[in-house]
């Protein structure tokens, strides 16, 4: 990552235009843990390449995060013919490449023209009655990384960060969707049961290791943000069973069809 992350995003967007032949993209999606299979439902693939083909993206480290970027043509609805930029995997804060790297995809998408950014993740769920494989809309977040992608005295407002308009649209598509506050822990370890309890006490019901820094960068860039979590496991201490990463990937596969259909319908109307 070069010294100026905004210039780096412009450079990546320029290379994206070369690789895809598309002058601009309209909407970006970041596919988190468990969401990769859902990407196939979103439209016709125009181009796909490793994220590392664009400047500023480091090699991925996590199994199930393939680190590819796909350009997809949306078909149907109001968005017919628009281009979606899909990040198949993300760089996490806990990987230690720095916060600018974490949000490089979002800034690249914004530089490429995306005015809507959909952030998905796999996470732990706290609410009683939730089951693994259940999607939940992010209504707001608590960022426990103590970090920000913004450098300097730029006091970005985060009121309604997770677009009420897009959340309403999702609920029109699927009225059974719940909403909750997402708490980003640094990771890569999962929470202790005491930390899960803390998340609940401070108002959170989703616990994960991503999304909030990207959402802040997306808002800084002027994009409209939609956040959707896939509850892949009940948070530590809720069932008494240990957490494992295989469970996460399994929950994603099992719910891929539902997630793909939901995202496709939302994209048509975005």
Residues in touch with ligand 8IG (CB under 6 A): 33, 122-124, 185, 187, 190-191, 207-209, 232-233, 235, 243, 248
For residue 199, the minimal CB distance to ligand 8IG (Å) is 9
Rounded Cα distance between 69 and 63, Å, is 16
Q: Select 173 or 243, whichever has its Cβ closest to ligand 8IG.
A: 243
Shortest CA distance to 215 belongs to which of 140, 112, 145? 140
Shortest CA distance to 244 belongs to which of 31, 109, 64? 64
The catalytic residue among 95, 191, 214, 224 is: 191
Give the DSSP H/E element, type plus range, for residue 136.
Answer: strand 134-143
Rounded Cα distance between 169 and 90, Å, is 25
Shortest CA distance to 206 belongs to which of 175, 185, 176? 185
Q: Select 46 or 142, whichever has its Cβ closest to ligand 8IG.
A: 142
* 3-class state of residue 208 by DSSP: strand
Residue with tokens 């412009």, as numbered in its chain: 10
Give the DSSP H/E element, type plus range, for residue 83.
Answer: strand 83-88
For residue 235, the minimal CB distance to ligand 8IG (Å) is 5
191 annotated active-site: yes
Rounded Cα distance between 104 and 98, Å, is 10
For residue 213, the minimal CB distance to ligand 8IG (Å) is 14
Using CB positions, name the residue nearest to ligand 8IG: 124
User: Strands 116-125 and 206-208, how do they pair?
Assistant: antiparallel
Q: Select 145 or 148, whichever has its Cβ closest to ligand 8IG.
A: 145
Q: Select 191 or 220, whichever has its Cβ closest to ligand 8IG.
A: 191
Q: Select 180 or 235, whichever has its Cβ closest to ligand 8IG.
A: 235
Question: What residue spans of the chain are helical by DSSP H?
Answer: 5-20, 99-102, 104-111, 164-173, 193-201, 212-220, 245-269
* 3-class state of residue 46 by DSSP: strand
Active site residues: 191
């Amino acid at each position: 990552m070069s010294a100026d992350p905004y210039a780096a995003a412009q450079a990546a967007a320029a290379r994206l235009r070369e690789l895809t032949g598309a002058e601009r993209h309209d909407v970006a999606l970041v596919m988190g843990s468990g969401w990769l299979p859902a990407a196939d439902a979103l439209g016709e693939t125009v181009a796909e390449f490793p994220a590392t083909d664009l400047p500023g993206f480091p090699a991925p480290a996590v199994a199930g995060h393939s680190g590819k970027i796909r350009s997809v043509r949306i078909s149907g609805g109001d968005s017919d013919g628009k281009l979606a930029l899909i990040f198949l995997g993300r760089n996490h804060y806990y990987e230690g490449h720095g916060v600018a790297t974490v949000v490089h995809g979002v800034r690249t998408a914004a530089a490429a023209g995306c005015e809507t950014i959909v952030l998905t993740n796999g996470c732990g769920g706290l609410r009683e009655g939730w089951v693994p494989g259940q999607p939940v809309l992010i209504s707001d977040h608590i960022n426990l990384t103590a970090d920000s992608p913004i450098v300097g005295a730029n006091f970005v407002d985060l009121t309604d960060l997770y677009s009420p308009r897009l959340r309403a649209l999702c609920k029109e598509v699927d009225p059974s969707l719940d909403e909750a506050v997402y708490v980003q822990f640094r990771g890569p370890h999962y929470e202790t049961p005491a930390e899960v309890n803390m998340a609940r006490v401070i108002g959170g019901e989703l616990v994960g290791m991503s999304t909030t820094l990207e959402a802040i960068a997306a808002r800084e860039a002027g994009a409209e943000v939609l956040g959707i979590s896939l509850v892949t496991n009940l948070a530590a201490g809720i069932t008494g069973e240990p957490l494992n990463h295989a469970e996460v990937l399994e929950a994603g596969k099992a719910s891929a069809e539902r997630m793909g259909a939901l995202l496709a319908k939302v994209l048509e109307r975005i």
